Amino acid sequence: MDYRKLLALAEEAKEHSYSPYSGFRVGAAILSTDGKVITGTNVESATYGATVCAERAAVVRAVSEGYRDFEAIAVASDAEGGSFPCGICRQFLAEFGLGIKVITGKPDGDIKVNTVAELLPFSFTGEELQKRDKQ
């Protein structure tokens, strides 16, 4: 799938954002390795700590539908140049693969493509837990 099209789907998902506190709308569209696209949006809470980011919403929805292998995720926000996933979302994405491409920007403008590994160097993964179990 064309990454600009994936980013356009993230832009559409952003329209469903529930962000009454920050006013910062975010949408995400995650692409499974078999071509399925699942979207998500940010959902805020007055406590902020209970807020769910668009990236995690998309991943949770995808996993709930039986998808666990992902090629790419696009993230759209109201920021002029787009937004990268926050630290928690980077760690969450790493759970499903350091090679997942993260696309941000604007569908009709410049886009940036990085892997999760590039955005989260020295990440903590399930491999660390396996190493511990072997000791």
Catalytic site residue from 11, 55, 118, 128: 55
Percentage above 90 pLDDT, the chain: 83
Question: What are the CA-CA distances from residue 67 to residues 11, 32, 40, 60 (Å)?
Answer: 22, 7, 14, 9
Pick the closest to residue 14 from 79, 63, 64, 65 (CA basis): 79
Q: Is the dihedral of CA 9, 11, 12, 17 positive or negative?
A: positive
Let me know if 15 is a catalytic residue: no
Per-residue confidence (pLDDT) for residue 72, from 0 to 100: 98
Architecture of domain 3-133: 3-Layer(aba) Sandwich (3.40)
- CA separation for the pair 90, 83 (Å, rounded): 12
Cβ atoms of residues 127 and 135 within 8 Å:
no
Pick the closest to residue 45 from 23, 67, 19, 71 (CA basis): 19
pLDDT for 135 beyond 90: no
What is the average pLDDT across 13-20? 98
Q: Is the pTM of this model over 0.85?
A: yes
- For residue range 64-111, what is the model confidence (pLDDT) as tens digits? 999 999 999 999 999 988 899 999 999 999 999 999 999 999 888 899
Structure tokens at 90: 């980077």
Per-residue confidence (pLDDT) for residue 1, from 0 to 100: 84
